[in-house]
A and B are shown apart, each in its own frame.
Chain A
Amino acid sequence: MSDKTNIILNINGRDHAISVESRRTLADAIREECGQTGTHIGCEHGVCGACTVLVNGEPVRSCLMFAQQAAGKPIRTVEGLAKGDEMHPMQRAFMENHGLQCGFCTPGFLMLAVGVLEREPEISDENLIDVLSSNLCRCTGYQNIIKAVRAAAIEMRQS
């Protein structure tokens, strides 16, 4: 299993030239080879969604994708949401609506919500809850997460 391949992961606009085994998950590669630890690992079997990142603009569970599958594709993680000191509307909305407590699932929720709203800005409330039900949070009871995403959706549509 020790044969490694040289690939380039483009994370938040920056290329990371890394060497990984075929079995290396994207989540592990982002965290360990590229040092971007904002992406969290909660279950490694695709249920909790804590490791959600955007690949080609689509939310994916980075624990279910091999690093090599993402080579050369644009990857966005939580570290790339803010522009300098200016936070993304989704980040602000999570703070203003108390959409986080321990903060462990938060990066995954932020990337899931941003990815979906960029693709479907006019998503209905009903479908939004369906989408958000793909990630698990153990602290908030969800209603403040839903409230935060709705607030951010309005702001994202306006900007």
Chain B
Amino acid sequence: MTAHTKGSGTTWVGRSIRRVEDPALVTGQGRFTADLPAVHWVRFVRSSVAAGAIQSINAPDGAGIVTATDLKALKPIRPMLSKFNYVAVGQPILADGVVRFTGEAIAAVYAPGKDQAEDLADQVEVEISETTALIDSMDALADGAPLVHDEAKGNVIVEGRIKTPGFDDVWTTAHKVLRVDGRSRRQNATPMEARAGHAAYDASTGRVTLTCTTQMPHLTRTAVCDIIGMPESDLRVIAPDVGGGFGQKMSLAPEYVLLVWLARKLRSSVAWTEDRRENLIASFHSRDQHVELEGAFDANGRLLALSADIVANVGAYSCFPTTCGVEPLMALAELPGPYDVRAYHCLSRGVLTHTCPMAPYRGVSRPVITFVLERLMDKAAAAFGIEPTEIRRRNLIDKFPYTSATGLVFDDGSYKETMEMAVSAIDLPAFRKRQQTARDKGRYLGIGFATFSERTGYGSPAFAARGMAISPGFETVHLTIDPSGFVEARIGASPHGQGLRTSLAQIIADEIGIDPEFIKVVHGDTDRSPYGWGTFASRSLVLSGGASLLAAQKIRAKLVKMASHMLEAAPEDITLKSGSAHVVGTDRSITIASMARAAYHQAHIFKGEIEPGMTEIGSYDPSGTFSNACHVAIVEVDIDTGRVEVEKFLVAEDAGLIINPMIADGQVHGGVAQGIGNALLEEIIYDETGNILSSTLADFLPPTAREIPEIEMHHIETLTGNSITKAKGLGEGGAIGAPAAVISAINDALSSFGVSIDEMPATPQRIRAALRSSGKLT
């Protein structure tokens, strides 16, 4: 048997090997949901108003149409939390009597082609008697405001409070109290592939295969089956190649339920491909939050206490499975971030409005709380007359493990070290000189620092602590060496661009002494993959990587035992490398492929001492870890136009052990680009009646290659005991730090105007308005 290795002599972990995902994707052989043919194409008829009562729905004679009347047997989507005064409102699959946001699906029509389905949808007449729409969360909180759902009084759907003991005493001792009124406008994750679903009924088995753009195939199966009332074994969910998710494809799309129901009804295949306008108005939104934050400092600039009032506009319904508590509750727990502050008081509320539901988006609340907290630090630096880096130096956590005011336990990190690394790499004194020279010539440069912690890789205990009825968490990997000696890892995680197949293969390769190219990682198919939670929350590498390592350790132990038997040597003398088991100090060896063959076809030779076959299972459900980073942005603001150019961006990051540096850096680059978009460009705009004014990519503006500078990367690798692979997650970090760094830099650039930009995105209009209000424009 040939040994499956190139014999590198070094570990695979830590190397920038090319991604196994790429060849298919660069040759047009990727397989995305919209590539599948279907017998029927579905188009949704969506509400053109934000709030109202449906009076009538009229379709042309003979048209294939589904309305709420047809779906009476289906349960609504009703995500559950058992804490934080959560009110479990239900979302019908199609609007049932009332509409609650512009874009809510009212009916589904089907036809033999996409064009015909669109024509048909245009001919469906819906009469709605409009009622008062609540668009802004502050209006929804006002006394006497109409209710979005009758059961949620005052339109508050979730509310969390924390007040640490002795808070008031600490507050009264403060030397200085500073305040930030922060606002993050509504945004959309905007994956380049919008959502799509394809449901095919198999008459021979009665099963349905739902292929869709989901980040959580197994939970999609559970949710759809619960709602329709069908056995999970009758539904196969496939997440094929998925064109970016960023959280938007984590939450259950009601549309998928409709597709499965319709495929069963028609005994056929049905497909829906979301168009960009639908994605912008009716897929999940994010970020829309007000944060009023106050910080109490002592005379030396030490932060003594934080007080926050957070209002998240969660839209018209609660998303499944995380619920709309995901943003306000993460903010409640994590607002103090990387700073050592013992006294904390926070009220955080999720408020219902007649807008598209909010759901997780890369970073989840931390882009907002980091931005507001970093604004507070910058204001403190100005108030104490010190550099922004110095105020952070005085307040960053530097002793581990650290238990936060909210009870989170931070494992080993490098908050100060990453900032110092960033400060020395950027050469702050040189920048300050350059800034002054430019200022003298009427050019406004600014620098902004953002330090943050990113809670990553947490299992079911963290979700259970929120009181979730469904607590995502563990990951499982089934690892098999087949009779040909090739390795297959079937994983529950479901990546969509992260290169996870490559990274996991590197971890497994080192453990069992085989090259990654002989390891196939299989995911995204509930018929093939073990139950798992998918890919979100910077978790896949930590959890699925940990489960892969555990499974590989078991396979390794079995291989050693087999080699010991077959080579007649003591187990402690066996090493696995280069695709073979070797007896140390001899030239005796046997290939792993030969052992695999024996495990299946010569099981008798082991005399019952070793189990036949070659499959092992690893499961991992850790408590979680924290990555951290310092982001630095240098910007130039054109005060005549309000345009901001990001001249330089630098990241000093600590994500534990880096499995594949190329992939790790790529994740950070992408996150930073989204963060810069968050800071400067991207905004879902509703008018006061609830009509969306940003329903094309000419209005909602993801950044282009023009707006994103090169990103300089620096790494520290703090090895944590909280992750068995020593890798911490890093998927969201780029998006968490970048908005704060960019906004800080803008404020630094404009410091001489005495204005404060505390709102994202900092569009040219907002910057110009602030400059005009300063009265200092000439």
Are the C-beta atoms of B496 and A102 separated by less than 8 Å? yes
In the bound complex, do residue B26 and residue A106 qualify as a contact, i.e. CB atoms below 8 Å apart? yes
A17 surroundings in chain B (CB, below 8 A): none
How many A-B pairs fall under 8 Å by CB?
Answer: 173
Q: Contact check: which of A1, A21, A98, A105 meets B663 at CB < 8 Å?
A: A98
Residue pair B192, A105 in contact (C-beta under 8 Å): yes
Are B26 and A142 within 8 A (Cβ)?
A: no
Q: Which listed segment binds A: B165-173, B430-438, B619-627, B700-708?
A: B700-708
Whether A31 lies near B27 (C-beta < 8 A) is no
Of residues 99 through 130 on chain A, the ones whose CB sits less than 8 Å from some CB of chain B are: 100-107, 110, 129-130
Q: Is A15 an interface residue (CB 8 A)?
A: no
Residue pair A143, B497 in contact (C-beta under 8 Å)? no
Q: Which residues of B contact A41 (CB under 8 A)?
A: 34, 273
Check A138 against B191 for contact (C-beta < 8 Å): yes
Which residues on the B side are within 8 Å of A47 (C-beta)?
696-698
Across the interface, A48 reaches (CB within 8 A) one of B663, B667, B697, namely: B697
Q: Would A140 and B666 be within 8 Å (CB), given that A45-B697, A78-B27 are in contact?
A: yes
Q: Are B276 and A45 in contact (CB under 8 A)?
A: yes
Q: Which of B498, B670, B705 is within 8 Å of A138, CB to CB?
A: B670
Contact with A along B237-268 (1 / 0, CB 8 A): 00001111010000000000000000000000
A130–B670 touching, CB < 8 Å = no
User: Among the interface residues B114, B665, B702, B704, which one has the most CB atoms of the partner chain A within 10 A?
Assistant: B704
B441 CB, min distance to chain A CBs, angstroms: 23
Q: How far is the CB of B32 from chain A (nearest CB, A)?
A: 7
Residues on B with beta carbons closer than 8 Å to the beta carbon of A143: 669, 708-711
Given contacts A44-B275, A98-B663, A130-B706, contact A138 B246 (CB under 8 A): yes
Residue A19 at the chain B interface, CB threshold 8 Å? no
Q: How far is the CB of A86 from chain B (nearest CB, A)?
A: 11
Please tell me if the beta carbons of B497 and A44 are within 8 angstroms of each other in the complex: no
A31 with B35: CB separation less than 8 A: yes
Contacts of B671 in A (CB 8 A): 141
Nearest chain B CB to A154 CB, angstrom units: 18
* CB pair A139 B497 closer than 8 Å: yes
Interchain nearest-CB distance for B394 vs A (Å): 32
Distance, CA A133 to CA B705, complexed state (A):
5
Instruction: Name which residue of chain B comes closest to A79, CB basis.
Output: B28
Q: Which A residues are in CB contact (< 8 Å) with B707?
A: 133
**B311 CB, nearest partner CB in chain A, Å:** 28
- The verdict on A136 contacting B704 (CB below 8 Å), with A91-B27, A104-B193 known, is yes
Q: A36-B28, A40-B32, A45-B697 are in contact. Are A1 and B115 (CB under 8 A)?
A: yes
Please, how many angstroms separate the alpha-carbon atoms of A133 and B711 in the complex? 17
Q: Are B27 and A45 in contact (CB under 8 A)?
A: no
A129 vs B333: C-alpha distance in the bound complex, in angstroms?
Answer: 42
Taking a contact as CB atoms closer than 8 A, the residue among B22, B193, B242, B705 that contacts A94 in the complex is B22
Beyond contacts A98-B662, A138-B191: 9 other A-B pairs, Cβ-Cβ < 8 A, are: A23-B115, A37-B28, A42-B193, A45-B697, A47-B698, A103-B243, A140-B666, A141-B666, A143-B709
Chain B positions within 8 Å of A, measured between CB atoms, are 18-19, 21-32, 34-35, 37, 114-115, 119, 190-194, 241-244, 246, 273, 275-276, 496-499, 662-663, 665-674, 696-698, 702, 704-711, 734
- A residues near B (Cβ < 8 Å) are 1, 21, 23-24, 28, 31-32, 36-45, 47-48, 50, 77-79, 81-82, 87, 91, 94-96, 98, 100-107, 110, 129-130, 132-146
Q: Which 10 A-B pairs have CB atoms at the shortest separation, nearest pair first? A: A38-B28, A104-B243, A102-B497, A103-B25, A141-B669, A141-B673, A78-B28, A47-B697, A101-B497, A133-B704
User: 7 A-B pairs, CB-CB below 8 angstroms?
Assistant: A42-B194, A79-B27, A87-B26, A95-B26, A98-B19, A133-B706, A142-B669
